[in-house]
Amino acid sequence: MQIEINKPILELNDRLAAANRALLAQNKVFMLDIMASPGAGKTATILATIECLRERYRIAVIEGDVASDVDAQKIKASGITAVQINTGGACHLEAAMIERALEMLPLAELDLIIVENVGNLVCPTEFDLGQTAQAVILSVPEGDDKPQKYPGIFAIADVVLLNKLDALPLFDFSVEQFTSSLEALNPTAALFQVSTRTKAGIADWATWLSNIIDA
Ligand code: MG
Ligand code: ZN
């Protein structure tokens, strides 16, 4: 017999996530949750995405980190409102943290909130935040076997960004292998090959995002 110790915690989280989702819908705000390992390029992707979409949408960012406000400062330096959540050690964001962050944002004056989840490929999958869509970023140096090793996060993604494409010549990363294991896990996920350094693929990704925001 298995004792499901996490069940009440997840049920409470799901209730709060549903309330967040309803609040966002009421204010016509699209919330994108971005999940990835530490160092995959979440903050750089957010900044590049903002550059493409800031003329078109009113954007804010919620930054989740175990400690520090380094990433929130980078976002604020670009002139975008950012709320920092320090999880105090927790390796994922939860709906209750997002609820508090949403209270600090002028929802009626926003179109898009981008959430940078804590760097982790495991437990963010368990905690619904009330997001409208979920993106996973994998960077080339992490290896093409990650969908096989962390199937859960790739299976729930609406969209996957393969980042640091400019580093391909330096690593034994098979785009074909990565693409086929992703397709086996999640045939409907959109996939963009990008480089936040060279900006390759960023405009295509931003166009895709803007199409689902407007849908
Ligand atoms: Mg970051
Ligand atoms: Zn966690």
Instruction: In whole angstroms, give the CA distance from residue 48 to residue 213.
Output: 17
* Mean pLDDT in residue range 56-77: 96
pLDDT, the chain, mean: 96
| Confidence category of residue 7, pLDDT binned at 50, 70, 90 | confident
**How many residues are listed for the chain in this entry?**
215
What's the 118 CA to ligand 2 centre distance in angstroms?
8
* Mean pLDDT in residue range 61-88: 96
What's the 90 CA to ligand 2 centre distance in angstroms?
6
**Where along the chain do its domains lie?**
2-210
Task: Using a pLDDT cut of 70, give the percent of the chain over it.
Answer: 98
What's the 4 CA to ligand 1 centre distance in angstroms?
32
Asked if residue 19 lies in contact with residue 196, where contact means CB atoms within 8 angstroms, the answer is: no
What's the 16 CA to ligand 1 centre distance in angstroms?
25
| Confidence category of residue 2, pLDDT binned at 50, 70, 90 | low
> Any idea which of 7-16, 92-101, 142-151 has the lowest mean pLDDT?
7-16
Non-local CB neighbours of 11 within 8 Å, separated by 6+ positions:
none
Q: What does R_g of the chain's alpha carbons equal in angstroms? A: 17
Q: Which one of the ligands is nearest to 92 CA?
A: 2
Domain 2-210 in CATH: superfamily?
Answer: P-loop containing nucleotide triphosphate hydrolases (3.40.50.300)
pLDDT digits (tens, 9 = 90+) for 116-174: 999 999 999 999 999 999 999 999 999 999 999 999 999 999 999 999 999 999 999 99
The residue written with tokens 């009330």 in the block is 130
